[in-house]
């Protein structure tokens, strides 16, 4: 169960980083 929770946390963290990166790119290239 600990491993599953850890994996889920990593996936969530990666999704957050992807979201932030995507937003950063959108802001950098508004066109």
- For residue 3, the model assigns a pLDDT of 79
- For residue 31, the model assigns a pLDDT of 55
SS3 state at 30: coil
- For residue 28, the model assigns a pLDDT of 66
pLDDT > 60? residue 27: yes
**pTM for the whole structure:** 0.46
Block residue for tokens 């790119």 = 25
pLDDT > 70? residue 29: no
| pLDDT, tens only, 6-21 | 888 888 998 988 888 8
Q: Where are the domains of the chain?
A: 1-31
> For residues 14 and 16, what is the distance between their CA atoms, to the nearest angstrom?
5
């Amino acid at each position: 169960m600990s491993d599953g929770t850890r994996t889920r946390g990593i996936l969530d963290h990666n999704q957050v980083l992807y979201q932030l990166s995507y937003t950063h790119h959108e802001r950098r290239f508004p066109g």
